[in-house]
């Protein structure tokens, strides 16, 4: 068949798909069947050198409610194929959408749902991302680091998705957390019609090994509302699709290679290929449709029990949030940051993941797409520090018990790995998922992390800082744990002069980084402080000599007199935002003239409209990155410590405004200050807490006479 004939065939089949005709299909097919027909045609378009672009409009504004990965539903559709245009009227009552099929465009990267358009729910075993259109498009099952079952965020066509939404034309959509909880509420408000979805995971804190239960309840709040649901799981990172078994109002997927699950409901479920739909739901005001996603062998949840589960989940989160001792400014954002950090904590192991996702790019269309579902010693230690500042000691004790086991079982005479799996084991090898198209076309999509093989010296400083603070404000360290600490510090004394990959995990030849030296100084300094405070046995003379040697080395070899500021690497000339930690860890006075010169240089060269880039030097990686969210908060805190409260507050509140609609942050900001990178990221939220804590104290005139470190 020649290509021209294939193009004509594509146009005719597209018309059939849009109208619900063709093949043996019924005269009126569900929207989800129409969607799959169109998706299959998109593949055909690629084969005949056509590229499809969807233009979605709703009234005079872009649609905020995409009811499926491409925003398609029974509607009035305008279709342009090549230079020919056809129209199909599918539902005259629905709002207008248009499907546009155009010629090839190399820069076309459709993103149905932005990273920032999500809230997050979790149960301290895994998290799910819930988009503002009601879709769960990211969920690893049943644990943080398990393979995904929904990953449409990384591939709208293949990734898998759990869609639930009310059919309300021209609706205004809002999404928010119930106060001081991780229970998410998404509302649709139309003319004469309104509805809301409550999403949460049941927290089984008293049962560390308890199975995950996801509850999705949609309620009509005004009028007679039609509801659409489609559950389309794709197991094992979307490499496997399984046909469901339906018995009554319960559908079960049993995967041969991954953990299966079931979905139960109080409404009828219908098989649609490998998916399950509920095509004929209509709710009157006050009525609900419930969908419970749970493990195959878990106890069934009845609809009459769901309200009690919701109330219990709300109580759990509000009780936890109520333990915070923070009473200062920006309290709502500080509490949200703490709740986000708690979501990233494993109730089973006490470890803390760096972020909840994998494969989300640091820059649009870029290649810096990593897997952050592991416990970095650095990130977790900083998280403990932030939570302890707010009064959450239980989490600090659980993490220190976890890391104590790592320190006690070192295989290299005190050397720690930079990251571990949640259970303390090895991080899986880095693998590229070639079959996923990537978020906005950003490839490759990776799982596992090759950086686990790197040598990074800074982790010892972050670790010892958290251990020191935990002992200062919590329980005393055990004898066995202290022996492990001694081995770690002895290792630092032997290796602090070595080159390493640095905090930013650069994939190039090892360098001599100032930040790594700085954190080696912190490690020895905190060990000395802890030994003195607790009267512990230690080789004081050696440790003290090493601390002084590191101090002198930094001042002699990392100050560039020509540039007039500290630099990233030994005898180098580049800046690095990690230098902002120098006064925060009390290595240098926040008002020292040489430090102030460095702070001003960072503001001049790395800051851009309030956000801060990590560095601008070569890092051995292709592509570019955005501004690093945590560095932006470090910058604000350093300004406050330097006494420039006016600018510090302006920068801090500007970065607060870059949070998404529910107060969450990803790893980075793009050029438009939209969220980019893995989400939510612990590092950013802990930096927010630290900056808010210090800035609030400085702005409080009652503390004018208080000594400042």
Query: What is the CATH classification number for the domain harbouring 235?
Result: 2.70.98.40
Q: Output 588 or 206, whichever has higher pLDDT.
A: 588
* Domains in the chain, number: 3
Distance between CA atoms of 237 and 231, rounded to whole angstroms?
A: 16
- Is the pLDDT at 569 greater than 50, yes or no? yes
Last residue of a domain, one of 60, 78, 102: 102
Q: What is the pLDDT averaged over residues 35-61?
A: 39
Q: Verify that 193 and 245 share a domain, yes or no.
A: yes
Report the range of poorest mean pLDDT among 52-56, 412-416, 545-549. Answer: 52-56
- Say if 446 falls within a structural domain: yes
Q: What is the reported pLDDT for 28?
A: 38
Residue 20 CA: distances (Å) to CA of 33, 79, 275: 8, 14, 18
| Res. 435 pLDDT band, cuts 50 70 90 | very high
pLDDT tens by residue, 673-696: 899 999 999 999 999 999 999 999
Q: Residue 129: what are its φ and ψ, rounded to 5°? A: -95, 125
87 shares its domain with 190? no
Neighbours of 639 (CB within 10 A): 24
Contact between 465 and 411 under an 8 Å Cβ cutoff? The reply is no
CA 603 to chain CA centroid, Å, is: 27
Assess whether 199 and 226 both reside in one domain: yes
Local confidence band at 348 (pLDDT 50, 70, 90 cut-offs) = very high
The pLDDT of residue 134: 98
264 and 398 together in one domain: no
Residues contacting residue 520 through CB under 8 Å, at least 6 positions apart: 457, 458, 460, 461, 492, 496, 550
**Between 504 and 685, residue with greater pLDDT:** 685
Q: How confident is the model at residue 322 (pLDDT cuts 50, 70, 90)?
A: very high
Residue 110 resides in a domain: no
pLDDT band at 33 (very low <50, low <70, confident <90, very high): very low
| Mean of pLDDT values over 133-146 | 97
Average pLDDT of span 509-533: 96
Q: Compute the average pLDDT of residues 181-203.
A: 97
Least confident window among 38-42, 181-185, 258-262, 627-631? 38-42
Question: Maximum CA pair distance of the chain?
Answer: 86
Q: Can you give the pTM of this predicted structure? A: 0.83
Of 102, 130, 150, which residue sits at a domain end?
102
- The SS3 assignment for 500 reads strand
DSSP structure string for 402-424? HHHHHHHT-SSSS---SEE-TTS
Same domain, 162 and 58: no
Least confident stretch, 57-61, 354-358, 441-445: 57-61
What average pLDDT does the segment 80-103 reach?
Answer: 31
Residue 36 has pLDDT above 50, yes or no: no
The reply to whether 109 falls in a domain is no
Q: What is the CATH number for 622? A: 1.50.10.10
Please report, for residues 436, 462, 476, 528, the alpha-carbon distance to residue 521 in angstroms, rounded to integers and kept in the order given: 43, 11, 23, 11
Predicted confidence band at 386 (pLDDT cuts at 50, 70, 90)?
confident
Q: Are residues 216 and 295 in the same domain?
A: yes
Q: Is residue 611 part of a domain?
A: yes
**Does residue 146 lie within any of the structural domains?**
yes
Instruction: Quickly state the pLDDT bin for 71 (edges 50, 70, 90).
Output: very low
**pLDDT level of residue 154 (50, 70, 90 thresholds):** very high
List all residues 6 or more positions away from 157 whose beta carbon is below 8 Å from its beta carbon.
Answer: 39, 42, 69, 437
The model's confidence at residue 703, banded by pLDDT at 50, 70 and 90, is low
Same domain, 135 and 227: yes
pLDDT at residue 15, rounded to an integer: 44
Q: Which residue has the higher pLDDT, 573 or 96?
A: 573
Q: What is the pLDDT of residue 299?
A: 84
In a domain, 708, yes or no: no
**Average pLDDT of the chain, as a whole number:** 84
> Which residue, of 316, 331, 348, is where some domain finishes?
316
Residue 276 pLDDT more than 70? Answer: yes
In whole angstroms, give the CA distance from residue 337 to residue 686.
7
Query: Which run of H or of E encompasses 451?
Result: none
Say whether both 468 and 529 belong to one domain.
yes
- 184 Cβ partners below 8 Å, 6+ apart? 119, 120, 121, 130, 175, 176, 177, 178, 198, 199, 200, 662
Range of the domain at 544: 323-703
Strand 194-201: give its sheet, edge to edge: 172-177, 184-189, 194-201, 213-222, 288-294, 261-265, 250-253, 245-247
Q: Which residues pair with 271 in a beta bridge?
A: 276
Give the CA count within 13 Å in the CB-facing half-sphere of 68: 23
pLDDT band at 109 (very low <50, low <70, confident <90, very high): low
137: its two tokens: 């498009």
pLDDT computed for residue 64 by the predictor: 34
Query: If you count them, how many residues does the chain have?
Result: 709
- Distances from the Cα of 158 to the Cα of 104, 147, 232, angstroms: 21, 14, 10
| Mean pLDDT within 84-90 | 31
Region 197-213 average pLDDT: 91
Q: Is residue 474 part of a domain?
A: yes
28, 177, 184, 220 from 273: Cα distances, Å = 17, 34, 30, 29
Lowest mean pLDDT among 44-48, 349-353, 582-586: 44-48
pLDDT at 704: 54
Nearest Cα to 689, choosing from 200, 323, 340? 340
Closest by CA to 165, choosing from 221, 75, 226, is 226
The answer to whether residues 274 and 336 belong to one domain is no
Cα separation, 73 vs 301, whole angstroms: 31
Q: Are residues 631 and 503 in the same domain?
A: yes
- Greater confidence (165 vs 404) lies with 165
Q: Are both 311 and 328 inside the same structural domain?
A: no
User: Do residues 551 and 659 both lie within one domain?
Assistant: yes
Phi, psi of 616 (to 5 degrees): -130, 10
Tokens of 336: 């949200």
Please report whether residue 168 resides in a domain: yes
In the predicted model, is pLDDT for residue 67 greater than 50?
A: no
Lowest mean pLDDT segment, chosen from 132-146, 339-353, 462-476, 602-616: 462-476
Across 148-152, average pLDDT: 98
**Those residues with Cβ within 8 angstroms of residue 662's Cβ, 6 or more apart along the chain or in another chain:** 119, 175, 176, 177, 184, 336
Beta-carbon contacts of 687 under 8 Å, excluding residues fewer than 6 positions away, are: 382, 629, 630, 631, 632, 633, 634, 637
Residue bearing the bigger pLDDT, 384 or 188: 188
């Amino acid at each position: 068949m020649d290509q021209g004939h294939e193009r004509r065939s594509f146009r005719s089949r597209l018309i059939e798909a849009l109208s619900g005709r063709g093949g043996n299909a019924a005269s009126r097919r569900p929207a989800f069947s129409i969607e799959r027909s169109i998706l299959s045609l998109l593949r055909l378009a690629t084969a005949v050198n056509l590229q499809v672009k969807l233009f979605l409009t709703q009234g005079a504004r872009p649609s905020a409610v995409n009811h499926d990965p491409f925003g398609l539903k029974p509607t009035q559709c305008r279709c342009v194929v090549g230079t020919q245009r056809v129209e199909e009227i599918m539902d005259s009552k629905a709002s207008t959408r248009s499907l546009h099929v155009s010629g090839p465009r190399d820069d076309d990267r459709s993103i149905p749902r932005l990273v920032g358009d999500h809230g997050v729910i979790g149960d301290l075993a895994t998290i799910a991302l819930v988009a503002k259109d009601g879709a769960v498009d990211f969920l690893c099952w049943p644990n943080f680091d398990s393979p995904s079952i929904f990953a449409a965020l990384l591939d709208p066509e293949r990734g898998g998705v759990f869609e639930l939404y009310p059919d309300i034309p021209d609706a205004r959509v809002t999404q928010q957390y119930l106060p001081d909880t991780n229970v998410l509420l998404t509302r649709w408000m139309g003319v004469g019609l309104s509805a809301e979805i409550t999403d949460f995971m049941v927290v089984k804190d008293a049962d560390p090994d308890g199975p995950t239960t996801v509850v999705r309840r949609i309620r009509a709040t005004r009028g007679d509302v039609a509801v659409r649901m489609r559950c389309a799981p794709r197991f094992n990172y979307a490499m496997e699709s399984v046909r469901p078994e339906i018995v009554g109002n319960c559908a079960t997927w049993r995967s041969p290679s991954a953990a299966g699950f079931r979905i139960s409901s109080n409404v009828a479920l219908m098989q649609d290929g490998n998916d399950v739909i509920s095509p004929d739901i209509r709710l009157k005001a006050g009525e609900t449709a419930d969908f419970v996603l749970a493990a195959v062998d878990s106890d069934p949840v009845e609809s009459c029990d769901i309200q009690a589960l919701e109330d219990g989940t709300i109580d759990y989160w509000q009780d936890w949030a109520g333990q915070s001792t923070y009473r200062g400014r920006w309290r709502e954002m500080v509490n949200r940051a703490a709740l986000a950090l708690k979501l990233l904590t494993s109730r089973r192991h006490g470890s803390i993941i760096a972020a909840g996702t994998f494969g989300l790019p640091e820059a649009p269309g870029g290649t810096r797409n990593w897997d952050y579902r592991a416990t970095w010693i650095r990130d977790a230690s900083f998280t403990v520090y932030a939570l302890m500042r707010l009064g959450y000691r239980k989490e600090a004790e659980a993490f220190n018990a976890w890391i104590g086991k790592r320190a006690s079982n070192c295989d290299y005479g005190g050397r720690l790995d930079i990251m571990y799996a949640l259970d303390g084991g090895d991080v899986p090898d880095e693998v590229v998922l070639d079959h996923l198209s990537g978020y906005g076309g950003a490839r490759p999509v990776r799982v596992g992390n090759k950086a686990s093989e790197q040598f990074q010296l800074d982790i010892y400083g972050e670790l010892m800082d958290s251990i020191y603070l935990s002992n200062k404000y919590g329980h005393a360290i055990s004898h066995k744990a202290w022996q492990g600490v001694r081995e770690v510090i002895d290792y630092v004394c032997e290796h602090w002069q070595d080159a390493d990959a640095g905090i930013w995990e650069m994939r190039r030849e090892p360098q001599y980084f100032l930040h790594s030296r700085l954190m080696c100084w912190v490690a020895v300094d905190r060990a000395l402080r802890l030994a003195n405070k607790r009267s512990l046995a230690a080789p004081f003379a050696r440790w003290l000599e090493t601390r002084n040697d590191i101090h002198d080395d930094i001042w002699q070899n990392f100050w560039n007199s020509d540039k007039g500021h500290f630099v990233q690497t030994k005898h180098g000339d580049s800046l690095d935002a990690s230098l902002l930690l120098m006064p925060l860890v009390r290595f240098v006075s926040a008002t020292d003239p040489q430090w102030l010169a460095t702070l001003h240089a960072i503001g001049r060269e790395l800051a851009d409209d309030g956000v801060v880039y990590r560095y601008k030097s070569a890092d051995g990686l292709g592509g570019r990155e955005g501004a690093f969210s945590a560095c932006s908060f470090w910058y604000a805190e350093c300004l406050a410590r330097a006494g420039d409260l006016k600018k510090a507050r302006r920068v801090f509140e500007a970065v607060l405004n870059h949070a998404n609609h529910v107060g969450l942050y990803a790893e980075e900001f793009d050029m438009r200050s939209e969220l980019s990178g893995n989400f939510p990221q612990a590092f950013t939220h802990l930096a927010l807490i630290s900056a808010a804590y210090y800035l609030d104290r400085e702005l409080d005139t009652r503390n004018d006479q208080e000594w400042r470190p």
